[in-house]
């Protein structure tokens, strides 16, 4: 029968390993939070048209994400616990949003530097950011650009619906895809309403001009 002292000696390395794992986890959580914060700030800068600021924040987010992954290099079970994936998704969303708002070709997961599920979720979240860009363009009276953004949203959704894999592998992508569909429908309604209002204004302006010409031609 083992003596208590023997068990304490045997458990000491176990306690040390858990302490190391806990320290690495706390470090990764902090770096993941920093990555998410920088990515969110980058998106805000993108919508304000501050591209240089956005690039710097994206670089910061990438560095913090890499730090989080490095902290858990020897603890894969913690690395895939979820919080690092959330940071990767937020970073992917910021990178994809920058490209989408600028009308550029969207980078794939390898170019962004994230796993497939994080890239897909970032792509789904980009639909919401494009809605914001679309409405900004509607308010500015640039309906052609707004319609182009709506087209991008529809293209993204058409890709998301082709991903036929269990939610356990895609981390619940189906819900994000459904949410993107709802966002697109609302945006299509907003753009359609704005286009109708523009057509009405144009018709009224043309009618007013015709009346003014007619009155001007009278003796």
Over residues 108-137, the pLDDT tens digits come to 999 999 999 999 999 999 999 999 999 999
Instruction: Tell me the C-alpha distance between 44 and 48, whole Å.
Output: 6
Q: Does residue 26 register a pLDDT over 60?
A: yes
Domain count for the chain, please give it.
1
CATH number at residue 22: 1.20.58.2140
Which of the residue ranges 34-38, 147-151, 209-213 has the most confident prediction, judged by mean pLDDT? 34-38
What is the rounded average pLDDT for all residues in the chain?
89
pTM: predicted TM-score of the whole model, two decimal places = 0.85
Report residue 57's pLDDT band, with 50, 70 and 90 as the boundaries: very high
The set of residues, in sequence order, having a beta carbon less than 8 Å from that of 55 and lying 6+ positions away, is none
Structure tokens at 112: 């962004």
Q: Say what percent of the chain tops pLDDT 90.
A: 68
pLDDT at 5: 65
Structure tokens at 175: 């819900």
Range of the domain at 187: 4-217
Q: Say what percent of the chain tops pLDDT 70.
A: 86
Q: Does residue 94 register a pLDDT over 90?
A: yes
Mean pLDDT score, 173-177: 94
| Burial degree of 154 (CB within 10 A; 0-12, 13-18, 19+) | middle
Q: Does residue 184 register a pLDDT over 70?
A: yes
Place of tokens 């796993």: 115
Q: Does residue 46 register a pLDDT over 90?
A: yes
Q: Which of 123, 155, 138, 145 has its CA nearest to residue 189?
A: 138
């Amino acid at each position: 029968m083992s003596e208590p002292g023997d068990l304490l000696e045997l458990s000491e390395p176990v306690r040390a390993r858990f302490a190391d794992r806990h320290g690495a986890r706390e470090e990764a959580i902090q770096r993941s939070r920093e990555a998410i914060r920088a990515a969110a700030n980058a998106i805000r800068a993108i919508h304000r048209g501050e591209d240089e600021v956005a690039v710097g924040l994206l670089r910061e987010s990438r560095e913090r994400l890499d730090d989080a992954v490095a902290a858990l290099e020897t603890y894969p079970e913690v690395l895939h616990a979820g919080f690092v994936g959330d940071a990767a998704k937020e970073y992917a969303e910021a990178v994809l949003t920058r490209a989408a708002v600028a009308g550029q070709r969207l980078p794939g997961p390898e170019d962004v530097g994230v796993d497939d599920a994080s890239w897909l979720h970032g792509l789904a979240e980009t639909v919401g950011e494009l809605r914001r860009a679309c409405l900004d363009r509607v308010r500015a009276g640039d309906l052609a650009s707004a319609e182009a953004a709506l087209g991008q949203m529809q293209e993204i959704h058409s890709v998301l619906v082709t991903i036929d894999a269990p939610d356990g592998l895609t981390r619940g992508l189906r819900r994000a895809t459904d949410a993107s569909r709802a966002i697109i429908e609302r945006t299509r309604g907003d753009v359609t309403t704005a286009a109708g209002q523009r057509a009405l204004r144009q018709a009224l302006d043309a009618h007013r001009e015709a009346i003014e010409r007619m009155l001007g031609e009278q003796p």
